[in-house]
Structure 1
Amino acid sequence: MRNLLKTATIFLFLITLTAGTTAPAKDNNKAKALLDKVVSKAKSYKNIVIDFKYSIYNAKEKINQDSNGNVAMEGNKYVLNFMGITKIYDGKKIYTIVPEDEEVTVTNNDESDKNAITPNKIFTFFKKGFKYSMDIKQTIPGKTIQYVKLTPSSVTDTRKEILIGIDTKTNHIYNLIETGKNGTKTTLTVSTFKFNQALAKNHFTFVKSKYPNYYINKAD
């Protein structure tokens, strides 16, 4: 779950020989400018509600799995539903609700985990610790997707590279694709993107009375 919104794949970017040493700088500036538009657009909304598909693939390990989920975000708060588990972050605590076990685990948000791309970081995680470059532009029905490649600056990062697919018309993130150094490829694709929804006042609050028979495990 901690790695839910982590992603990457291979970029194809052509640099002409006549561009000389200025091409990487120009490429970096274009990529950064596009990412800045994504951040600015996301911050302009009161809240965001997304349905998504999550895929993980590793040929060597014979892993090929698809799952669906949804997430609502407002500021740094979020409610995530994925693989039968609900996570609520109220800005201070994370409540992980597992109906199968009738258990709720309460933890503090770990800001020190820089590699964890949690829902409230999906529009900002790329601002530090990466080198940027523009990649291919892809046309799908009704959308033109421009990819930006992120390469981790740290050699100890377990991620090889990350692709961010951006809808050029809306400046919304369409998908995130990560390739790990171990060959694992994870992809998150947005199915529906809604914003400024009429959410309940307690939407991002854990209401204990809704889980009367659940064991509350305070891990921190």
Structure 2
Amino acid sequence: MILQIQKIQLKFIIIPFLLLFSFSVQAQNKEAKNLLDQVTSKVKSYDNIVIDFKYSLNNVKENINQDSKGNVTMKDNQYILNFMGVTKIFDGKKSYTIIPEDEEITISTVDEKDDNAITPSKMLTFFNSGYTYKIGDLQDIKGRKIQYIKLLPTSAKDQRKEILLGIDVQTKHIYNLIEIGKKGTKTTLTVNSFKTNQPLSKNQFTFAESKYPNYYINKLD
């Protein structure tokens, strides 16, 4: 179950951090790159970011329709993610995955040199390679002008056909991200609330083992 949770979290941790990406100069569309640069500059000016989001998974062929909500708090090289009943804390060095349903906590040290490690620094360069992108459609969604940028994976092994990144033209914040799979699966993450420079406690990203007296602690180090 832990492995399954980790795979789920891989997707949902990376997506919110799209707000912080330093996009590659390999862009084939100058308009798209200019907009992404504005998003990056805007977000980097914030001390911290708190996001509430909705995630939807749809596959017409398999008759799958699932909706979930979550939230993430980010500051520098730290974050707290709450999604599908699981909390993941990253304090800048160690990762803590808390699963109340199983009363289990997995603790691991994150090595940023590990190609398989999920870290904020890697999220910051996620699109620097492996994708080409170009400007997409401009849509009016609930009175907001949303400019889409289409990202195409360059690897034939990538199971995603394309990714659509929606950006609010006025605020330069990410509105949503849509992934379309080669087998018909469509996943959509929509930012419901985007707050910045919130009052956070000094121990906001500190894991306190004393709060979980009956939990099994699984240390992977």
- TM class by shorter chain equals 0.7 to 0.9
Q: What's the CA shift for 1:113? A: 3.6
Larger relative contact order (Cα-Cα within 8 Å, sequence gap ≥ 6): 1
CA distance in 1, matches of 2:178, 2:210: 38
CA distance 1:193–1:123, change in 2 (3 Å): farther
Seq. identity, %:
61
**CA shift in 2, pair 1:75/1:44, >3 Å:** same
**Equivalent residue number for residue 210 of structure 1:** 211
Is 2:54 the partner of 1:53? yes
**Structure 1: gaps (5+ residues):** 8-24
2:1 is equivalent to residue 2 of structure 1:
no
Letter in 2 for 1:167: D
Q: What letter is aligned with 2:37?
A: D
Quick one: which amino acid aligns to residue 90 of structure 2?
A: Y
Q: Is the 8 A contact 1:71 1:119 kept in 2?
A: no
1:27 positional shift: 6.3
Deviation at 1:112, TM superposition (A): 1.6
CA offsets, 1:59-97, max 9 Å, x none? 222211000111001112110011111000111121110
1:140 Cα deviation after fit: 1.7
For each residue in 1:189-214, what CA deviation from the matched residue of structure 2 results, as whole angstroms up to 9, or x when unmatched?
Answer: 00000000001111111111111211
Q: In structure 1, what is the Cα distance between the partners aligned to 2:183 and 2:13?
A: 18
- 1:112 aligned residue: 115
Matched, 1:95 2:96: yes
Q: Deviations over 1:104-132 (max 9, x none)?
A: 01124475249x7x777666532332101
| Residue identity in the other structure for 1:112 | D
Match of 1:157 in 2: 158
1:74–1:86 Cα change, 3 Å: same
Which ranges of structure 2 fall in alignment gaps of 5 or more residues? 1-8, 16-25
TM-score by length of 2: 0.83
Residue 20 of structure 2 is matched in structure 1 by: none
Is this contact kept in 2: 1:6–1:176, CA < 8 A?
A: no
SS at match of 2:29: helix
What SS does structure 1 have at the residue aligned with 2:155? coil
RMSD: 2.3
Partners of 1:213 and 1:175 in 2: CA distance? 38
* TM-score between both structures, scaled by the size of structure 1: 0.83
What does residue 21 of structure 1 align with?
none
8 Å contact from structure 1 (residues 136, 146) kept in 2: yes
**Which one-letter code corresponds to 2:88 in the other structure?**
K
1:193 aligned counterpart, secondary structure: strand
Distance 1:167 1:122 in 2: 21
Deviations 1:165-206 (A, max 9, x none): 000111100001001222211110000000000011111111
Q: Tell me if the contact between 2:27 and 2:133 (Cα under 8 Å) persists in the aligned partners.
A: no
Cα distance in structure 1, aligned partners of 2:68 and 2:95: 22
Cα 1:80–1:171 change in 2 (3 A) is same
Distance, in Å, in 1 between the alignment partners of 2:106 and 2:78 is 17
Alignment of 1:183 with 2:184, yes or no, is yes
Count of paired positions: 201
SS of 1:171's equivalent? coil
Provide closer, same or farther for how the CA distance between residues 175 and 120 of structure 1 changes in structure 2, counting only shifts above 3 A: farther
Taking the aligned partners of 1:141 and 1:123, their CA distance within structure 2 comes to 30
Residues 117-168 of structure 1: CA distance to partner in whole angstroms, max 9, x if unpaired? x777666532332101111011122411000000012222222111100001
Distance 1:174 1:123, change over 3 A: farther
Higher radius of gyration, 1 or 2: 1
Contact 1:50 1:72 in 2 (8 A): yes
